Amino acid sequence: MTKGKVDALLGIVFGDEGKGKVVDYFTPRYDVVARFAGGPNAGHTIIFEGKKFVLRSIPSGIFDEGKINIIGNGCVIAPDLFMAEARELENAGYQLTERLHISRRAHLILPTHRVLDRAYEAAKGKNKVGTTGKGIGPTYSDKAARVGLRVGDIMENFEAKYQALKARHAQLLSDMGFEYDITEEEKLWLEGVDYMRKFHLTDTEIEINRYLAEGKSVLAEGAQGSLLDIDHGTYPFVSSSSTTSGGVCTGLGIAPNTIGRIFGIFKAYSTRVGSGPFPVELFDETGDTIRHIGNEYGAVTGRNRRCGWVDLVALKYAIMINGVTDLVMMKGDVLDGFSTIKVCTAYTKDGVTTTEMPYDTEGWEAVYEEIPGWNTPLTEMRTYDELPQAFKDYVAYLERELSTPISIVSVGPDRDATIIR
């Protein structure tokens, strides 16, 4: 934690790195927790005081009474889903309205954005992105096209603005011949819009900069992962926001020189949900074992996650793009049962081998190096010294290859199975 600075906590692969678990460790150290990109496509599973919550749009600092939580301008927000998420927290006894501030510049996801998401996916057929269906792409498209609705629009002449954008979407959907019915969904959505009015809908960029000037510490909580970034991910199989450290600046309205440390989270192996290139994907029993032991099923959609070995090409690229200062390695224990562990060190295609992320990641195969596994359960271990030498060698190998320290390793689902080095 750095006083007067913004530290970032970012998933640096395809999302689902386990951010939800480590925020438990991170949030108590910060005064403010802010989300800067994405929306309800995220699902951060947090176990707090024995209860399980899946946070989609709300920052993880919400469980800590003293913290300010911010949904920044780079985010998109679905009023109905936000209402459901917020009410669940209110019902569990958390007071939200004073501590959750939402940027007036964040964009609203309309019910028709979700329909458009489905329609565009259907039109793409086998080339579909495999989106979460939450309307993310169409909402960011409208933002870029300068026709979107923002949270600030809720406060003035909202009905007319809503009807105008809805009509625009209806035209697009009719041109595509896509049938839909949003009657029920729309009712709930409008109720959600009303519900949002009780929150601080404000200029969060001014607020955050004021906190920084006062010497407060801010944690920028990432969503998705760097390889789903609209610019640097495996386009077009990406999400539509800036999920990298650059996105922290634009998504919160803070300057690059206010950034302190950048924590890059990855798992001891790799996963991906949805379509798109994934050279390390395992289609065999090993992949099934990792999925089963790692419980690799989507928090938002319930889909099977595709599983594979750790990918140094992807990690090096993500570390470079983000300027990662510290790595956090999650789920080391999932590999407990393997006597040999593979690490992807390069990609190969048509006789060409590269260690740099190719422009078109389609069709590349992984080149592996094998290293000995530890074959010992790690879950009960609480200090770095206790960990088996083979595990420490794996960590040292990754640090050497990635030229970045692994400052935290997680060896089990419990909050105290997080070992700080």
Tell me, residue by residue from 187 to 226, as one string, x for binding to ligand IMP by CB under 6 A and - for no binding. Answer: ------------------------------------xx--
- Of the candidate spans 87-95, 131-139, 379-387, 392-400, the one that interacts with ligand IMP by CB under 6 A turns out to be 131-139
Least distance between ligand IMP and beta carbon 258 (Å): 26
Rounded Cα distance, 200 and 174, in Å: 37
41 contacts ligand IMP (rule: CB under 6 A)? yes
- Gyration radius from the chain CA atoms: 21
Contact 317, 253 (CB under 8 A): no
Contact 324, 262 (CB under 8 A): yes
Residue from 32, 136, 329, 387 binding ligand IMP (CB under 6 A):
136
Tell me whether residue 42 or residue 330 sits nearer to ligand IMP (CB atom).
42
Tell me whether residue 228 or residue 387 sits nearer to ligand IMP (CB atom).
228
Phi-psi bin for 291: left (phi > 0), alpha (psi -120 to 50), beta? alpha
Q: Which two tokens stand for residue 219?
A: 């944690």
274 contacts ligand IMP (rule: CB under 6 A)? yes
Query: Can you point out the beta strands (E) in 121-226?
Result: 200-202, 218-221
Rounded Cα distance, 319 and 322, in Å: 5
13 contacts ligand IMP (rule: CB under 6 A)? no
Positive or negative: CA dihedral 354, 374, 226, 15: positive
Establish whether 44 is a catalytic residue: yes
Tell me whether residue 56 or residue 99 sits nearer to ligand IMP (CB atom).
56
Rounded Cα distance, 307 and 121, in Å: 23
Rounded Cα distance, 146 and 43, in Å: 28
333 contacts ligand IMP (rule: CB under 6 A)? no
Residue from 8, 10, 16, 395 binding ligand IMP (CB under 6 A):
16
Amino acid at 250: T
- Of the candidate spans 19-27, 95-103, 178-186, 232-240, the one that interacts with ligand IMP by CB under 6 A turns out to be 232-240
Tell me whether residue 15 or residue 287 sits nearer to ligand IMP (CB atom).
15
- Of the candidate spans 13-21, 78-86, 327-335, 345-353, the one that interacts with ligand IMP by CB under 6 A turns out to be 13-21
130 contacts ligand IMP (rule: CB under 6 A)? yes
Q: Which two tokens stand for residue 203?
A: 């200029």
Tell me whether residue 134 or residue 232 sits nearer to ligand IMP (CB atom).
134
132 contacts ligand IMP (rule: CB under 6 A)? yes
Annotated catalytic residue within 7, 16, 117, 153:
16
Tell me whether residue 73 or residue 239 sits nearer to ligand IMP (CB atom).
239
Phi/psi of residue 127, nearest 5 degrees:
-90, 15
Rounded Cα distance, 228 and 244, in Å: 9
131 contacts ligand IMP (rule: CB under 6 A)? yes
Q: Which of residues 379-398 bind ligand IMP (CB under 6 A)?
A: none
Establish whether 232 is a catalytic residue: no
245 contacts ligand IMP (rule: CB under 6 A)? no
Rounded Cα distance, 308 and 297, in Å: 14
Angle between helices 245-252 and 312-322 (to 10 degrees): 40
Amino acid at 366: A
244 contacts ligand IMP (rule: CB under 6 A)? no
Tell me whether residue 131 or residue 217 sits nearer to ligand IMP (CB atom).
131
Q: Which two tokens stand for residue 361?
A: 């990641």
Query: 159 CB contacts (<8 Å, ≥6 apart)?
Result: none
Indicate the Cα dihedral angle 116, 57, 324, 322, nearest 10°.
Answer: 30
Question: How many contiguous H segments (helices) and E segments (strands) does the chain have?
Answer: 11, 20
81 contacts ligand IMP (rule: CB under 6 A)? no
Least distance between ligand IMP and beta carbon 305 (Å): 8
The SS3 of residue 51 is strand
72 contacts ligand IMP (rule: CB under 6 A)? no
42 contacts ligand IMP (rule: CB under 6 A)? yes
Least distance between ligand IMP and beta carbon 375 (Å): 30
Least distance between ligand IMP and beta carbon 240 (Å): 6
Closest to 237 in 3D by CA, of 263, 213, 203, 273: 273
Annotated catalytic residue within 7, 24, 31, 44:
44
| Binding-site ranges for ligand IMP (CB under 6 A) | 14-16, 41-42, 129-132, 134, 136-137, 223-224, 228, 237, 239-240, 273-274
Which residues have a catalytic role annotated? 16, 44
